[in-house]
Amino acid sequence: MKRTIRDADVAGKRVLLRADLNVPLKDGDVADDTRIRAVLPTITYLRDRGAMVAVCSHLGRPSGPDPTYSLTPVARRLADLLGCTVPLMPDCVGEPVLRAVKAMNREDVILLENTRFHPEEEANDTAFAKALAAGFDVFVNDAFGAAHRAHASTEGVAHLLPAYAGFLLEKELAVLGRLLAKPERPFLAIVGGAKVSSKIGVLRALAERVDVLAVGGGMGSTFLAANGTQVGRSLREADREGEARAIAAALAKRGGELVLPVDVVVAPSADAAGAASARTVGVDAIPADLMVVDVGPRTLEHYQRAIAKAKTILWNGPVGVFEVPRFAAGTRRVAELLARANATTVVGGGESVQAVEELGLTDRMTHVSTGGGASLELIEGKTLPGVAAIPDL
């Protein structure tokens, strides 16, 4: 168990808080403030106890300073949510930032500019980490979504200042830890997304833990092809079919069930142009000139039966081309079924989270993870550098 801010004396202390504020922007404003809201309990707790809080985060993947990736819109939204002024610093390191930090009063909140404006951030450069830590007394990591990265602001700083976990990081570790250690059974995992290759480790780990594994999305076509099904022009990783068969075999060896699509929506292309010609076919009748873009209604009935029986459900990844409305029906249906499930429901990052949020179903889930990659690596059994750097109790 990692020590948390409950174990820290922060009164009158200057706290560097690493948050995951890598949020989508549209027309110069925050398009989705879920990740900003997620860190509010930690900020409020620190302020209520007399701390001075400087929040740092990355945004996007800039190659050097770039106004397109400035945290200016994030500072505005954070100020609105906190009901106080949140100045944005011109940088995350340097003399102007150090002077501002020293001038802070109790309960003040400032936001440091994008840490990735410096290539030293992703390189976990020691000198950069020292510059980031300068002027602070305590480091709090509440950025679960970035905890799988050994960067200066997630891992390097934790070795230079007394380090603690924030409430969001604590919750993510607790929920996902219980999911892996002692899930109530039957345990169902629904895994979608484009490629098997991006989730090989996760699929292997789940095959050793779950009672039912339902596979959809682009990777569903690879699993179908591994069984000898002709999948037309669908996204398919021929070099991963052996892995798909091995995962199926590992699951079967434990008496588990693999649920693959039995019918699918097919179209000439996976974009809006292909939507007009989309139709539903059985998986044994996928035309050679079309591609799979969503699961069909009979497949969703299989999902529904599995969800109705399950006591623990993990969902990661869309089961269709979710960004095209015509091909998003399957993913939306999965979200709706989970919202009504009499089970512990955990949604693990990415577009599955987006689907839940767009449908207004977030509050109907047991837990919606803020960290796609971090969630997957934790499930896979990997050590998260940003977590490992925080001392245990």
Active site residues per annotation: 35, 195, 350, 373
d(CA 347, CA 355): 10
Q: What is the DSSP letter of 190?
A: E
Please list, in sequence order, all residues whose beta carbon lies within 8 angstroms of the beta carbon of residue 357, skipping any fewer than 6 positions away.
32, 34, 368
CB 393 within 8 A of CB 173: no
d(CA 192, CA 195): 8
Q: How far apart are the first and last CA of the chain?
A: 6
DSSP secondary structure of 82-123: HTS--PBPS-SSSHHHHHHHHT--TT-EEE---GGGSHHHHT
The phi and psi torsions of 71 (rounded to 5 degrees) equal -85, 15
Give whole-number Cα distances, 346 to 9, 78, 377, in Å.
33, 26, 15
In DSSP terms, 138 is beta-bridged to: 15
Two tokens, residue 24:
């989508």
Q: What is the DSSP letter of 37?
A: H
Two tokens, residue 20:
């995951």
Two tokens, residue 131:
């510059």
Give counts: helices (H), strands (E), the chain: 15, 16
Q: Please, what sign has the CA dihedral across residues 36, 41, 45, 47? A: positive
Strands of the sheet containing 291-295, edge to edge, are: 279-282, 263-267, 291-295
Please list, in sequence order, all residues whose beta carbon lies within 8 angstroms of the beta carbon of residue 246, skipping any fewer than 6 positions away.
204
Residue 61's CB is within 10 A of a number of other CB atoms, namely: 10
d(CA 277, CA 275): 5
